[in-house]
């Protein structure tokens, strides 16, 4: 028997795991009590959700379609009988031939890639490097575009850095903290434990701002139940109160910020009365929340996807940032602006350059000095790396056309579950000329692929994840790869060498890495924040970036002396409602999110016994709405938006508010994103997942079993 210490593959908390292995099989998972991140605590996914590794549905040998796919009539193939097994050489040669053929014919605009927030830093660094250095494209993105892009853009514009400013465990040092757009107990359970301790053991005051009565409301001093899409009105009204009552930190504003006058003028219209009229939150609650936050010695704001996943998600994030800048609650322990990252390595994948607008380390692709730096490092001819921003995930889908994107490479992502308006996504994926999926399973997107490349799970590989605290931690191999599956980084190196030979670029980049640590060291030479991040220094508790050299201890708190951009900048705001509001035809607001037992598109948890704990999608409906519609608990309903419909059962509960319904997005049988709106935030290009108009009608029980009820339907 052996015990291998590694890092959890689920949410962004980054809990330390001990995998107990006997005869090459994981049979138990524990966590050491001295772990600085989770102190021995694990949620149900971390403790029990490892058995997907042994699922009989795992793809463990390369697969090639028996019948070649034709653009316009590409079909999904979940049935293994529609695939044939291949050798690695045959599969990689086919991928290299098809990709280079399309690139040689149509150029870089035809190439696109989805990197993966579930993969390691090293995997993501290599994949974005491959597509940039070999195919000269910046059409590189991953799921951060669909979760925290609004937060990233706002933080970059306001303070110059998009990561959490503080460490989550510092919540016990808060006098006051705000949770908004986050069902923390289900999405980040271990951080929620620390938040509960802050209230119960340390006397902190909690303000929850959320349309649902999430569990943390039970610990709150104040709950502000706003209508979805009205965040800017509520938080700007709090700023209005802070300004009018002179609760600002004048010295902080004077010494460390800019553009205050224009911002203050834009806040005049955001009276508590106005905010109440559009949000439904009582004016006295807004005033009390503003005073409580502003007068605190230490105060912090924690948010998740309820803030950025909006057609004005960047503005939502700005409205939170402004509260911290007005009061000086940033740059010190127990304070700060803290976007809680959803996937295990979404922070690291972003740091590694898995985005269309930035090279690794958030160095702009349209900045000539940055481009020249990476051209030199990757042996690309001067000017070879374009200076034009690439397409985001949603833009990649929309650009699939004869004169647009023709080839798509997907590592671990699942746009057929994660994109909004899935009917549109399905239609577009059918038009691809060539699709490669590198994954553990044939998921809803991989079922469209021409070639499936079997990757290893986190327990079968080495690497690093960067958690929501900016903590880089080791991922250690505990068991041998299943079947012929390979670590992502090895697949990419083998493919890159084939591509180089076909493209005639033997000097374009180096792909002979002995181990993942060499990849991270290369990234560190190009990304100042990772310069001192070396495997030998990560053995115990990892390091929090920035880590500027081999002696630097890491940075638990950002902005202690200056902001990354120098002075933090206030941004004037206006109120814009959600792009789609309720009307007579579609009278309810739908919002979406996660449940404790599942994770994102379900490719891991729904191939685990965790699926037995929560086996089907349930829509939350308020008792007042259920009575008005004459619906009962667990009754099947048909939910339709302007884009599609799903059939599922309801749960009648006061967790939601009247007029607002909630559907989790993990279930392909009732995929919430068949309904959601693909309108984009103009700055962050993030879709509006958290507010769209729907109508509800009774369905027959047998509709739940009909295959057509599980397929995308509605308008293209």
Domain annotation covers residue 573: no
Q: Of the candidates 340, 364, 388, which is a domain's last residue?
A: 340
For the chain of 716 residues, list the mean pLDDT of each consecutive stretch of 10: 96 96 96 93 96 96 93 88 96 98 97 97 98 97 85 95 94 97 95 97 97 97 97 98 98 98 98 98 98 98 94 96 98 96 92 96 97 95 95 95 97 92 93 97 95 98 97 98 98 96 76 95 98 96 97 97 96 95 96 91 91 94 97 97 96 96 94 93 92 95 63 34
Q: Does one domain contain both 220 and 312? A: yes
For residue 143, what pLDDT is reported? Answer: 82
Q: Report the distance separating Cα 472 and Cα 584, nearest Å.
A: 50
8 A C-beta contact, residue 681 and residue 646: no
Q: Does one domain contain both 308 and 169? A: yes
Radius of gyration of the CA atoms of the chain, in A: 24
CA nearest neighbour of 628 among 562, 695, 675: 695
Degrees (nearest 5) of the Cα angle 682, 683, 684?
105
The number of distinct structural domains making up the chain is 3
CATH number of 375's domain:
3.40.50.740
**Terminal alpha carbon distance of the chain:** 55
For residue 265, what pLDDT is reported? Answer: 98
Q: Does one domain contain both 267 and 359? A: no
For residue 73, what pLDDT is reported? Answer: 84
Residue 420 belongs to what domain range? 63-147+347-456+485-511+518-544
Domain annotation covers residue 143: yes
* Residues in CB range of 626: below 8 A, 6 or more apart: 632, 633, 650, 652
For residue 709, what pLDDT is reported? Answer: 42
Q: Cβ atoms within 10 A of the Cβ of 420, count?
A: 26
**Helix H or strand E segment including 261:** helix 260-267
Domain annotation covers residue 582: no
Q: Does one domain contain both 322 and 390? A: no
CATH number of 233's domain:
3.40.228.10
Q: Does one domain contain both 662 and 674? A: yes
Q: Report the distance separating Cα 302 and Cα 320, nearest Å.
A: 9
For residue 235, what pLDDT is reported? Answer: 98
Q: Does one domain contain both 497 and 637? A: no
CATH number of 641's domain:
2.40.40.20
pTM for this prediction: 0.95
670-686 in b/e burial notation, b at 16+ Cβ within 10 A? Answer: bbbbbbbbbbbbebbbb
DSSP 344-405: TTHHHHHHTT-SSSEETTTEETT-HHHHHHHHHHTTPPTT-S-SS----HHHHHHTBSTTSB
Domain annotation covers residue 528: yes
Q: Does one domain contain both 237 and 248? A: yes
For residue 708, what pLDDT is reported? Answer: 45
Q: Does one domain contain both 685 and 617? A: yes
Q: Does one domain contain both 492 and 353? A: yes
8 A C-beta contact, residue 70 and residue 82: no
**Helix H or strand E segment including 259:** none
Q: Does one domain contain both 296 and 329? A: yes
Domain annotation covers residue 716: no
Q: Does one domain contain both 626 and 683? A: yes
Lookup: tokens for 315: 């503005």
Domain annotation covers residue 639: yes
235-256 in b/e burial notation, b at 16+ Cβ within 10 A? Answer: bbbbbbbbbeeeebbeebbeeb
8 A C-beta contact, residue 70 and residue 45: no
Q: Does one domain contain both 124 and 160? A: no
Domain annotation covers residue 55: no
For residue 640, what pLDDT is reported? Answer: 97
Domain annotation covers residue 267: yes
Q: Of the candidates 298, 320, 340, which is a domain's last residue?
A: 340
Task: Give the sign of the dihedral formed by CA 392, CA 394, CA 399, CA 401.
Answer: positive
Q: How large is the greatest C-alpha to C-alpha distance in the chain, in angstroms?
A: 71
Q: Of the candidates 340, 371, 392, which is a domain's last residue?
A: 340
């Amino acid at each position: 028997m052996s015990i291998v210490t590694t890092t959890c593959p689920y949410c962004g908390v980054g809990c330390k795991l001990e995998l107990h292995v006997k005869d090459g099989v994981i049979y138990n998972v524990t966590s050491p009590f001295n772990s600085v991140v989770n102190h021995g605590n694990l949620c149900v996914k971390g403790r029990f959700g490892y058995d997907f590794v042994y699922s009989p549905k795992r793809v463990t040998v390369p697969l090639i379609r028996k019948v070649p796919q034709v653009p316009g009539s590409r079909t999904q193939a979940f049935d293994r009988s529609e695939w044939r097994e291949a050798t690695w050489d045959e599969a990689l040669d086919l991928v290299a031939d098809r990709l280079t053929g399309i690139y040689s014919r149509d150029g870089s605009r035809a190439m696109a890639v989805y990197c993966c927030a579930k993969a390691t830093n090293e995997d993501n660094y290599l994949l974005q490097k491959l597509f940039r250095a070999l195919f000269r494209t910046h059409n590189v993105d991953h799921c951060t575009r669909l979760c925290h892009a609004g937060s990233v853009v706002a933080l970059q514009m306001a303070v110059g850095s998009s990561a959490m400013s503080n460490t989550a465990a510092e919540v016990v040092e808060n006098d006051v903290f705000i949770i908004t757009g986050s069902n923390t107990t289900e999405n980040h359970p271990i951080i929620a434990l620390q938040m509960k301790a802050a209230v119960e053991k340390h006397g902190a005051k909690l303000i929850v701002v959320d349309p649902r009565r999430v569990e943390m409301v039970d610990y709150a001093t104040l709950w502000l139940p706003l209508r979805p899409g009205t965040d800017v009105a509520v938080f700007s009204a709090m700023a209005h109160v802070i300004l009018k009552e002179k609760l600002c930190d004048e010295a902080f504003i004077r010494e460390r910020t800019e553009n205050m006058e224009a911002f203050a003028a834009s806040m005049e219209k955001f009276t508590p009365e106005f905010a109440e009229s559009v949000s439904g939150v009582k004016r006295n609650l807004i005033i009390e929340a503003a005073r409580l936050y502003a007068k605190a010695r230490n105060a912090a704001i924690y948010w998740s996807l309820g803030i950025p996943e909006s057609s004005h998600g960047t503005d939502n994030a700005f409205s939170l940032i402004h509260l911290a800048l007005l009061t000086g609650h940033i740059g010190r322990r127990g304070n700060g602006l803290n976007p809680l990252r959803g996937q295990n390595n979404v922070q690291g994948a972003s740091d590694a350059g898995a985005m269309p607008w930035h090279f690794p380390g958030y160095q702009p692709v349209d900045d000539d000095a940055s481009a020249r730096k990476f051209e030199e490092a990757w042996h690309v001819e001067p000017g070879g790396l374009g200076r034009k921003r690439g397409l985001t995930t949603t833009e990649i889908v929309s650009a699939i056309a004869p004169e647009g994107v023709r080839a798509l490479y997907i590592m671990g992502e699942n746009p057929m579950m994660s994109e909004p308006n899935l009917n549109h996504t399905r239609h577009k994926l059918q038009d691809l000329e060539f699709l490669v999926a590198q994954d553990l399973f044939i998921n809803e997107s991989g079922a469209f692929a021409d070639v499936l490349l079997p990757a290893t799970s986190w327990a079968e590989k080495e690497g690093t994840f960067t958690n929501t605290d900016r903590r880089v931690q080791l991922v250690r191999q505990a068991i041998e790869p299943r079947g012929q599956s390979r670590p992502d980084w090895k697949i990419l190196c083998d493919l890159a060498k084939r591509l180089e030979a076909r493209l005639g670029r033997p000097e374009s980049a180096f792909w002979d890495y002995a181990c993942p640590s060499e990849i991270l060291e290369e990234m560190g030479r190009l990304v100042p924040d990772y310069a001192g991040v070396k495997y030998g220094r990560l053995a115990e508790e990892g390091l929090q970036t920035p880590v500027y050299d081999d002696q630097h201890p890491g940075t638990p708190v950002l902005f202690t002396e200056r902001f990354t951009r120098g002075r933090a900048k206030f941004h004037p705001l206006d109120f814009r409602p959600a792009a789609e509001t309720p009307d007579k035809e579609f009278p309810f607001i739908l919002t979406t999110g996660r449940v404790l037992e599942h994770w994102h598109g379900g490719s891991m948890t729904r191939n685990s016994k965790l699926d037995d704990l929560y086996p089907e999608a349930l829509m939350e409906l308020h008792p007042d709405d259920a009575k008005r519609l004459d619906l009962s608990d667990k009754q099947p309903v048909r939910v339709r938006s302007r884009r599609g419909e799903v059939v599922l059962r309801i749960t009648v509960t006061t967790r939601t508010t009247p007029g607002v319904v909630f559907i989790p997005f993990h279930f392909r049988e009732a995929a919430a994103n068949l309904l959601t709106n693909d309108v984009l935030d103009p700055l962050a290009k993030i879709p509006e997942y958290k507010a769209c108009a729907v109508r509800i009608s009774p369905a027959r029980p047998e509709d739940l079993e009909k295959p057509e009820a599980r397929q995308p339907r509605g308008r293209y």
